[in-house]
């Protein structure tokens, strides 16, 4: 997610940023696919949603539910595309069920939201592309991913609570280490 721009809106998410070198590679690929994309590579635990409580209360609820969660590994899979939305993404080969469990444990109370699609953990590469740009983007993503030689795994050891702005830029609000110790 990334920098601040414009007034904040009632749209929040919980993400795990992907560290370098994998994260840097995915950031560059995202920018090549969608030139105005400034979001940092991440896997989303709670997709964007309005809150029905103050953000401070939501953060307390998340910390309570996450206090006993230990770090875990994610291995990325293949380049895929969601058929209804044409979102291009990298699948989760390992750690998928762990992410679904976290999502289910957090999607309650003031954090609960009727999401437009079932939760499907992934790493978004491109979305909202014009029709003629989807196929070339998928081809480029496949080629670049095939040529990537570093590890396709990372440890989810910190989660970041983020808020969106009117300009669709995400602001980091809080971090939590999965050993239960607040990072800030």
What pLDDT was estimated at residue 3? 44
Residue 184 domain flag:
no
Residue 149 domain flag:
yes
SS3 111: helix
Residue 154 domain flag:
yes
Residue 41 domain flag:
yes
Q: Residues 125, 33: contact at Cβ < 8 Å?
A: yes
* pTM of the predicted protein model: 0.90
Splitting the chain (184 residues) into consecutive groups of 10 residues, what average pLDDT does each group show?
66 96 96 82 96 94 92 97 94 97 95 94 94 93 97 97 90 88 53
Residue 127 domain flag:
yes
Residue 123 domain flag:
yes
Residue 44 domain flag:
yes
Domain count, the chain: 1
CATH code at position 33: 3.90.1140.10
At residue 2's C-alpha, the angle toward residues 166 and 10, to 5°, is 35
181-173-113-77 Cα dihedral, nearest 10 degrees? -70
Question: For 110-145, what is each residue's pLDDT tens digit?
Answer: 999 999 999 999 999 999 898 889 999 999 999 999
Residue 150 domain flag:
yes
Q: Domain of 45?
A: 8-177
């Amino acid at each position: 997610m990334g920098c601040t721009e414009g007034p904040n809106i009632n749209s929040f998410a919980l993400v795990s940023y992907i560290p370098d070198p994998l994260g840097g590679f995915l950031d560059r690929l995202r920018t090549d696919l969608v030139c105005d994309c400034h979001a940092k590579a991440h896997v989303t635990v709670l997709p964007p949603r309005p809150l029905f409580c103050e953000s401070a209360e939501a953060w307390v609820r998340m910390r309570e539910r996450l206090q006993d969660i230990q770090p875990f590994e994610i291995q990325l899979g293949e380049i895929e595309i969601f058929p209804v939305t044409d979102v291009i993404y990298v699948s989760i080969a390992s750690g998928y069920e762990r992410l679904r469990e976290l999502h289910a444990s957090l999607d309650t109370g003031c954090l609960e939201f009727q999401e437009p699609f079932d939760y499907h953990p992934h790493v978004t590469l491109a979305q909202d592309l014009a029709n003629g740009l989807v196929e070339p983007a998928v081809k480029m993503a496949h080629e670049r991913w095939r040529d990537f030689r570093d590890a396709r795994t990372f440890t989810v050891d910190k989660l970041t609570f983020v808020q969106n702005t009117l300009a669709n830029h995400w602001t980091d609000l809080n971090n939590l280490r999965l050993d239960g110790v607040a990072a800030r």
